[in-house]
Chain A
Amino acid sequence: MTVLSIQQGSNCVVGRFRAMASPCEILLEAQDIALCQQLTELAAAEAERIEQKYSRYRPDSVLSLLNWNAGHWQAIDAETAALLQFANSCFTLSSGLFDISSGILRRVWQFDGSANIASQQQIDAVLPFVGWHNIKLDDNRLFLPAGMELDLGGIAKEYAVDKVLQLLQQQFAAQQAPSLVVNFGGDMACNRPRDDGSLWRIGIENPTLADQAISAVGLSSGALATSGDSRRFILKDGVRYSHILNPKTGWPISNAPRSVTVAAPNCLLAGMLATTALLQGADAEAFLQAQGLKYWLVK
């Protein structure tokens, strides 16, 4: 079990734990430490369940087993099928830019701030194993071609935020839940406005100034998610290569904003739109404007 801590602020109570390689927080408007403890325990357990199921770093996760057994039709459970259907929608709607099979490109690109640019030859070697359109998905089974790998890293955390918020709300009778924020490393969702009418003030790290500047955004309900790359990049000959890779070419997206934050009704939607915006490169802002949702962008 993850280590939990509960802390009382002046207008909320915060429960903290670590999951999905991120600091996680449950913010509760009601000044009730015992309630916050209970909710944080539930949240940590649900986050742990989702991480255990979909982490590519855990060899026994459902995802790792799917990747391990590539080349065969494999039975999948309802939750996994729903997640993959969602990934399919993202792939289609982003015209193939959002692709959960593109993680394999990381084998040739190491975004460690060094000058190690991949060669076209290396890229060409892995590119045939990228492409969601080659994957067959039914209601309850999946065919992943041999050599291909899925990575739900771009979906799982946002999914966990939404699922945890849902779970916490289910602990209350209809319309009786206090205002809650689930914040997993900056991807967050809030169920309803605070009773006192004030906004939850959430800081967004400004990538250009590293850890110093935090611009606060107000959240009353709905979700915020951010995609960006303040630290993960390759710098060679004065060119900054973003760690966002185009799954069609295998090359980093050029002229992408450093970070994009989107506000949307749920965290999954906010996260997908933020990531898809980055994948538009220089057109990120135009893409965001077309979505009709609130966004913050750091160039």
Chain B
Amino acid sequence: MKPTKILSGTLLVLMFAQLSACSSLGVKPWERDMLAKDEMALNNAPLDNRLDDHIYFSKEGSSGGRSFAGGGCGCN
């Protein structure tokens, strides 16, 4: 009893510049299962890094690298 669909799907496309870089490095979108894990995030323990950066910033002559080196603390 369901009426027949009378639609035709049409696509009105929008222009966007796409950079199609080709490289042997990298993975296909469906190969990101492991990279998608929390453990593989570059900053997977942001609080640990934040606390460490603050300790080392105040105890050593270097700072930054992973993130901004800047000010924010009178501890050194």
Question: Touch between A and B in complex, CB under 8 Å?
Answer: yes
Residues of chain A touching chain B, judged by Cβ–Cβ distance below 8 Å, are 9-12, 14, 22-23, 25, 27, 30-31, 35, 98-100, 102-103, 105, 151, 153-155, 157, 171-178, 183, 185-188, 196, 198, 200-205, 207, 214, 216, 225-232, 243-245, 247, 259, 261, 271, 275, 278
CB-CB under 8 A from B18, the residues of chain A are: 11, 31
B67 to chain A: closest CB distance in Å? 24
Bound-complex Cα distance A205 to B20 (A): 34
17 A-B pairs with C-beta separation under 8 A:
A12-B13, A31-B18, A154-B3, A172-B30, A176-B30, A176-B36, A178-B29, A183-B9, A185-B9, A187-B7, A198-B16, A201-B12, A201-B14, A203-B8, A226-B5, A227-B5, A244-B1
Q: When the two chains form their complex, are residues A173 and B30 in contact, meaning their CB atoms are under 8 A apart?
A: yes
B40 to chain A: closest CB distance in Å? 11
Bound-complex Cα distance A202 to B7 (A): 10
- Tell me the B26-69 residues at the A interface (CB within 8 Å): 28-33, 35-36
Counted as pairs of residues, one from A and one from B, with CB atoms less than 8 Å apart, the total is 126
B73 lies within 8 A of chain A by Cβ: no
Q: When the two chains form their complex, are residues A171 and B30 in contact, meaning their CB atoms are under 8 A apart?
A: yes
Cβ-neighbour of A247 out of B1, B4, B8, B33 (below 8 A):
B1
Q: When the two chains form their complex, are residues A176 and B32 in contact, meaning their CB atoms are under 8 A apart?
A: yes
Bound-complex Cα distance A155 to B6 (A): 15
CB-CB under 8 A from A105, the residues of chain B are: 1
B48 to chain A: closest CB distance in Å? 24
CB-CB under 8 A from B28, the residues of chain A are: 35
**Contacts A11-B13, A177-B29; A187 near B5 (Cβ below 8 A):** yes
The residue in chain B whose Cβ has the minimal distance to the Cβ of A272 is B2
The residue in chain B whose Cβ has the minimal distance to the Cβ of A210 is B6
Cβ-neighbour of A202 out of B6, B11, B15 (below 8 A):
B11
Bound-complex Cα distance A224 to B35 (A): 33
Main secondary structure of the interface of B (DSSP, over half): loop
Chain B residues with a Cβ closer than 8 Å to the other chain, count: 26
Q: When the two chains form their complex, are residues A99 and B11 in contact, meaning their CB atoms are under 8 A apart?
A: no
**Contacts A185-B7, A185-B8; A10 near B15 (Cβ below 8 A):** yes
Q: When the two chains form their complex, are residues B6 and A231 in contact, meaning their CB atoms are under 8 A apart?
A: yes
CB-CB under 8 A from A10, the residues of chain B are: 13-16
CB-CB under 8 A from A183, the residues of chain B are: 9
Q: When the two chains form their complex, are residues A173 and B5 in contact, meaning their CB atoms are under 8 A apart?
A: no
Q: When the two chains form their complex, are residues A202 and B9 in contact, meaning their CB atoms are under 8 A apart?
A: yes
B24 lies within 8 A of chain A by Cβ: no
Q: When the two chains form their complex, are residues B1 and A227 in contact, meaning their CB atoms are under 8 A apart?
A: no
**Contacts A151-B1, A173-B36, A245-B1; A228 near B9 (Cβ below 8 A):** no
Most buried by B among A11, A105, A216, A226: A11
CB-CB under 8 A from A230, the residues of chain B are: 6
B10 lies within 8 A of chain A by Cβ: yes
CB-CB under 8 A from A207, the residues of chain B are: 6
A226 to chain B: closest CB distance in Å? 5
The residue in chain B whose Cβ has the minimal distance to the Cβ of A196 is B16
The residue in chain A whose Cβ has the minimal distance to the Cβ of B19 is A31
B62 to chain A: closest CB distance in Å? 36
Cβ-neighbour of A174 out of B2, B4, B36 (below 8 A):
B36
The residue in chain A whose Cβ has the minimal distance to the Cβ of B2 is A154
Q: When the two chains form their complex, are residues B36 and A175 in contact, meaning their CB atoms are under 8 A apart?
A: yes
Bound-complex Cα distance A41 to B15 (A): 27
Cβ-neighbour of A103 out of B1, B4, B8, B16 (below 8 A):
B1
Cβ-neighbour of B1 out of A35, A100, A188, A198 (below 8 A):
A100
